[in-house]
Chain A
Amino acid sequence: MSVLDAAQPAAARAVDVWKVYGSGETEVAALRGITLSVEAGKFTAIMGPSGSGKSTLMHCLAGLDTVDRGELFVGDTTLTGMSDKQLTQLRRDRVGFIFQQFNLLPTLTAQENILLPLAIAGRKHDQEWFDRVVDTVGLRPRLGHRPSELSGGQQQRVACARALLSRPDVIFADEPTGNLDSRSGAEVLSFLRASVREFNQTIVMVTHDPNAASYADRVVFLADGNIVSEINDPTEDVVLDTIKQLDANANRVMETA
C-alpha cells in the first residue's frame, strides 16, 4: 500500500480483488481484479448487467464474503485474514446493510428493528440522533408498528434508519428499491441522499435503475467482474447514454469474436 493510497479519504477500498466461484468446468470468475475506492461522505452507485459481479463486490466489501486474491479495507482496516468473529464485529460496528427484502424481524416493532444492531452489540443509542434519523425517514407515527403493518416502502425506510443509526463507516444497499413502486422508491432514495448530504454518511448502492443511480454522486459501471466506466454527478440521461454506449461496445466485441 502506497503512501498516496493511504492519504485518500476512502471509506472502503478494494485493491485488485479476484473472486472465483466453483472450479473446473463450472468455474465463474465473478470479480476479475477490481480496484475501487469508495470515497467517504459520498453516495456511490454501482451499475452493470445482471451477473456482472455487483452484489459480489459489495458483499466482499461489507465483510459478508471473502475474496480469493487482492485486499479489502473498511477505513484503514484490512479485512484479509479476519476470522468469522472479527468480521461479525466489523459488520456490527462499522458497516450498515440494506437488502432488497427480508430486512426486518416480524416479531419486533419498527423501533425495535431500528435499534436491533445496537441491541445486539449491547450499545446504548444516542436519543438525539435516533430522533433525528426517525424524523428524517418520517417514521415517527409508525414506530410501534410491526413490519406486517407497514408498506414495502415504509419497511425499507425502517431498514435505512436501522443502517444509519449506528453511524457506520459505510452503508451498503443492494437494490434497496428493487421491490418498490416508483413513489416509495423515490422516498427511500431521497432519504439515502439526504443522509449523505446532511449526516455525511458514506453509502454504496447497487441498482439497475438509471433513475435511482441519478441520486448518487458517482456511478461505477461493472461488466464481467471489472470496472468499465465511471461518471460523476450523474443525471438519468447521462446514465442511460453510458449504458447504451457500453451495450454497443459489448455487442461489437461479441460480433468481432
Chain B
Amino acid sequence: MLRATLKSLLGRKLRLALSAIAIILAVTFVSAALVLQSTLNRSFDTAFNSAFERIQLQVTAASPLGGDPGTAPPVPLDDTVVARTSGVSGVASARGEVRANGARIIGRDGRVPETSGQRIGVSWAEGSGATLTEGRAPAAPGEIVINAGLAKETGYRVGDAVGVLTMKPRQQFTVVGIATYEGRDDLVNGEQTISFALPTAQELMLGAPGAFSSIDVRLAPGADTGKVKADVRNALGDGFLVRTGTEVAHDASGPARGTFTGITYVLLGFAGVAVLVGVFLIANAFSIVVAQRTKELALLRAIGAGRGQVRRSVLLEALIVSFLSWIGGFALGLLVGRLAASALASGDDGVPIAGFQLPIAALVVSFLVGVGVTLLSALLPAARASRVAPVAAMRLTTQKERPSKVNTIIGAVLLVAGAAVIGAGLAGDAIAAVGGGALLTFVGVILVTPVLIAPVISLVGGLTRSVPARLGRLNATRHPRRTALTAVSLMIGVMLVTIVSTVLSSLQSTATHVVDANLKAELIVNSGAVSAGSVPPTINPESLRRMRELPDVAAVAGYAFEPAKVNGKDDYVLSWDDVSALTKIASVQFVAGGLSTDKVLLNEGTAKRLDAKTGDQLTVQLGRGEERTLEVGGVFGDTQVADGIVLPWSFASTGFRTDQPNQAYVKLREGAPLTATKSEVVALLRDNPEVEVRTRSELIDQAGSAIGLIVAVVQVLLAVAMIIAILGVVNTLVLAVLERTNEFGMLRAIGMYRGDVRRMIMVESVVMSLFGAVLGVVLGAGLGLALVQALKSQGINQMALPWQLMLVYVVAAAVVGVLAALAPAGRAAKLNILAAVRHA
C-alpha cells in the first residue's frame, strides 16, 4: 500500500504542489510570528537586564491606580521614606533619585525627535551608572547632560542651548555634558535621557520640590537580596514597590516590547487567515485527488484492499505532503522571523538581537497547523475514498455530482439560527452572542453554498452572450461542491476585509457626523498618533491664555484626559481648563444641573453607566494625590466630542501627570477669517512642537488617515488570502481541463478557435471567483453592519458600507480569476485535437 501511495503521490505533482504551497504559507506565517515574538522578547530582556544590571534593589511608591509599573506615572516619595529604607539592616546606602518619562528635548528642526523608547528625565548622581564622555555634570538649574545617542540624533554638542518640555512648559537649558551608561553607547531601545541637577529634576519631572521617584538601594556586602527586599517592604509598609534589578528591567522592557506585539499579532492574523483558507484549499485538493484516483482506488479494492487501507492510503498521502511542507514552512518561518526581528530591533539602535534558540512553541504550534490541520482537512476526502465501490473501476464515466441534501439542510438551519442569535445579541447588547451568531452564519453559508451556485450563477447568464462565455458559465456549475469549496476559499478573505472595512468606514462616517453635528469649534489643537511609551503632548497654558486674547477668537477650551479610578473602578476622566467655554466649542446641552467649576459633569450615557444623577457623590482617585469625593453638578446630552466624566480643572491639574492640557478647541468669532486666524494660533503655539492646529475638515482627514493605515494592513491580509485562493482556483481548473479534455477536442473539431477555448476557461474561472467574492462582500457587509450595531455603545453610531472598497474587492477577485485561468486555459487551448478526442 505504501508503494502504491508513493507512486500516486509522484503522479500528481502539480496538485500536491498547490496544497503544499498553502501549507507552507500557513506554517511560515505562524512560525515567523512566534519566532519574531520570542526573539524580540529575549533580545529586550537581555538588553534591559544589562541596562539595569547595576540596580540591586529599587523602592518606588505604588501607583494609586495600580497598573503596569513600567508605564504608570511616578508617584513622589519624600525624605522620610529614604530614611526608613536606609535604616533597614543589610542596606548599605539608600539614595533618593528622580527618574520619570516625559522629558522631551526639542531638536534643531523644532520638533521632538522620534523614538519608540521613552524620553526620560533623571536626576544626575555620581555612581548611578552614568559616565561622562564629554563636559561635566549638571549643577545649576539651567544645565543638562544628554545621552550620547540623543546627542548623535539631534546633533547637539556641549555648550548648545536647547529647549526641553517637561511637566512644565518649554524651558531653555545649556548642554553641559554628554554621558554613556555602563560602558554602552546608549540606553536600550533608543531611549532619550536628559539628566538635570537633582532639585531641577524634582521640580520639572515630579512637580514636587524635595521629592523622589525612586530610591536606589545598595546592599551591604554579603547581604541576601531576597531577605533585604522582604525587610525593606516590611519596614515601609503598604503602598510601596520593592523590586530587584531584574524585576525593574522586566517592567521597563514591557512598553518597548508592546511596540512590537502589534506586528506579531498582524503576522498571527495572517497565519490565521492562511490556515482558514488553506483548510478549504487542502480539503478541495484532496477531494480532487480522490476523485481522480477513484478508478485506481476501486481497482485496489477489487483486488482485495480493505476500506481502512484505502482510507489510510489517502491519509498517508496527506501526512507525507504536510510533513514535508511543514519542514519547509518552518525553516522559512525561522528565517523570516529572525530577519524581521533584527530589522525591527536594530531600527531603533541599541537592542542587539538575541542568539538563536530553538523556539519550542513555534515548533509545536506550526506542526499542529501544518500537519494537524492538513490531516483534519483530508479526513473527509479519505472517508469518501474508502466508500469507493470496487465496481467503480468498471464504470466508464464519473457520476454526476449533486449538492448534499443533509449539508444544505444543516447549513440552512445554521444560517437561520446564526441570524437569530445575532439579532438576539444585538437586542441584548451581548457582543459575544453577535460573534457566536456570526460564526454560525459563516458555517451555514459554507454549507449552503453548493446549492446557491447554480441559481446565483444563472443570474449573470444575461452577461454571457457569446458561446464560449456561456459554456464557461455552465461549466462553473457542473461540480457544485468543488466550485463551492473553491469559491469559499476566496470568500473568506473578501469577507474578512469587508467586515473590517465596513466597521472602519462606519467609524469614519461617525467621526464626520460627530464633527459636523456636535463640534462647534473651528480649530482643533492636537497631536498625531502618540507613540508607545511616550507621554501625551502638552500645551503651555500661557499659549492658550494669549490665544484667548486674539481678537478673532471667541473661546478656547484646553482639554486633558487620563486614567483614574471612579467609585473604585478603573475608568477614564477628562477636564477642561475653562469649563465655561465648553458650551461654545461643542453642542453641550444640560438636561439636569449646569456648568460648574467645582463639581463633576457627566454626559447622559456616562451617567447611565455610572448610575449617577445630579447631586450624587462620586469618589475619584487620580494618578497622584488623595482620593476625593465630588458631587455631580450637571448631566448633558451625549455629544461624542465632550463626553465622559468631566472633573473640575482645579482637581485635575493637581492629580494629573501635568497641569498642562494636551488638546485644545478654538471657537472663532462670527465672520473671523479661518486661514488667517489659524496662522495666528499656529504662531502662538511655536513653543509647543508636539501639537498641530487642524481645521474641522483636517480633523476628519486625520481620523481617516489613521483608518487608512488599518485598511492598508487589512488589504495586505486580503492579498495573502487571495494568493492562497488563487492556488485553489488553479487546482480546480486544472482538474476541469483534464476531465473535459475530450470535450475540448470535440469543440475544436467542430470549429472552435483556440482563443475561444481559452476564453471559455477564463469565464469559468472568473465566474467562480466572482461568485466567491460576491458571497464574501455580501456576508462581510452583513456581519460588518451587525458588528457596527453591536459597537453602538462604543460610540460608532453611523452605519456606512465601503462601496468603493467592496467594488475593488470584487474586481480584485475577477483579476484573481483571470490570473488563475492563465495556465490551465493555455493548456486547454494547446491540446492536440486528435489526442483530446481519443482521451478517455
Contacts and interface: CB of A to CB of B under 8 A. Distances in A.
Given A105-B471, A107-B474, A107-B478, A121 B751 contact: yes
A97 B753 CA distance: 16
B755 to A, nearest CB: 9
A102 B743 contact: yes
Interface in A39-70: 59, 62, 64-65
A237 B750 CA distance: 35
Given A107-B475, A120-B467, A85 B753 contact: yes
Given A59-B834, A99-B837, A102-B837, A116 B750 contact: yes
A119 B467 contact: yes
Contacts of B471: 105, 107-108
A119 B834 CA distance: 22
A88 B751 contact: yes
Contacts of B750: 91-92, 96-97, 116-117, 120, 162
Given A89-B751, A120-B756, 5 more contacts: A59-B834, A92-B752, A106-B478, A116-B467, A119-B467
Contacts of A211: none
B746 interface: yes
B752 A120 contact: yes
Interface residues of A, number: 29
B754 interface: yes
Interface in B541-568: none
A148 B749 contact: no
Contacts of B748: 88
Interface in A138-166: 148, 162
B467 A64 contact: no
Contact of A64 (B747, B756, B833): B833
Interface in B452-478: 467, 471, 474-475, 477-478
Interface string A75-117: 0000000001100110111001101001111111000000011
A62 B749 CA distance: 9
- Residue from A62, A106, A120 whose CB has the most chain B CB atoms within 10 Å: A120
Nearest to B478: A107
Nearest to A84: B754
A1 to B, nearest CB: 27
A59 B836 CA distance: 13
A97 B467 contact: no
Contacts of A102: 742-743, 745-746, 837
Contacts of B753: 85, 88
Interface string B744-782: 011111111110100000000000000000000000000
A55 to B, nearest CB: 8
A99 B836 CA distance: 12
A120 B467 CA distance: 6
Given A65-B834, A120-B467, A103 B746 contact: yes
B400 A97 contact: no
Interface in B79-121: none
A108 B751 contact: no
Contact of A91 (B400, B474, B749, B754): B749
Contacts of A121: 751
- Residue from B467, B751, B754 whose CB has the most chain A CB atoms within 10 Å: B751
Interface in B481-520: none
Closest 4 CB pairs of A and B: A92-B751, A107-B474, A102-B742, A119-B467
Interface residues of B, number: 23
Nearest to A102: B742
Contacts of B751: 88-89, 91-93, 117, 120-121
A172 to B, nearest CB: 9
- Residue from B400, B467, B477, B750 whose CB has the most chain A CB atoms within 10 Å: B750
Contacts of A85: 753-754
A97 to B, nearest CB: 5
Contacts of A108: 471, 474
10 contacts: A64-B749, A85-B754, A92-B751, A102-B742, A104-B746, A105-B743, A107-B478, A116-B750, A117-B751, A120-B751
A91 to B, nearest CB: 5
Nearest to B476: A107
A64 B834 contact: yes
A97 B471 CA distance: 20
A84 B400 CA distance: 34
A107 B457 CA distance: 14
Nearest to B755: A85
A102 B840 CA distance: 9
A22 to B, nearest CB: 14
Contacts of B746: 99, 102-105
B746 to A, nearest CB: 6
A162 B478 CA distance: 23
Contacts of B742: 102
Nearest to B470: A119
Interface string A114-136: 00110111100000000000000
Contacts of B747: 105, 116, 120
Contacts of B834: 59, 64-65
Nearest to B837: A99
Contacts of A65: 834
A167 to B, nearest CB: 14
- Residue from A89, A102, A122 whose CB has the most chain B CB atoms within 10 Å: A102
Contacts of B400: 148
Contacts of B837: 99, 102
A96 B467 CA distance: 19
Nearest to B751: A92
Nearest to A62: B749
Contacts of A122: 467
A88 B749 CA distance: 7
A136 to B, nearest CB: 20
Contacts of B754: 84-85, 88
Interface string B388-403: 0000000000001000
A99 B750 CA distance: 11
A29 to B, nearest CB: 17
A104 B471 CA distance: 12
Nearest to A103: B746
A227 B276 CA distance: 65
Interface string B812-840: 00000000000000000000011001000
A122 B745 CA distance: 20
Interface in B399-440: 400
Interface in B709-751: 742-743, 745-751
Contacts of A107: 471, 474-475, 477-478
A101 to B, nearest CB: 8
Contacts of A64: 749, 833-834
Nearest to B477: A107
Contacts of A162: 750
A105 B837 CA distance: 13
A200 to B, nearest CB: 21
A203 to B, nearest CB: 16
A54 B237 CA distance: 107
Nearest to B473: A107
B735 to A, nearest CB: 16
B464 to A, nearest CB: 12
A96 B756 CA distance: 19
- Residue from A62, A92, A107 whose CB has the most chain B CB atoms within 10 Å: A107
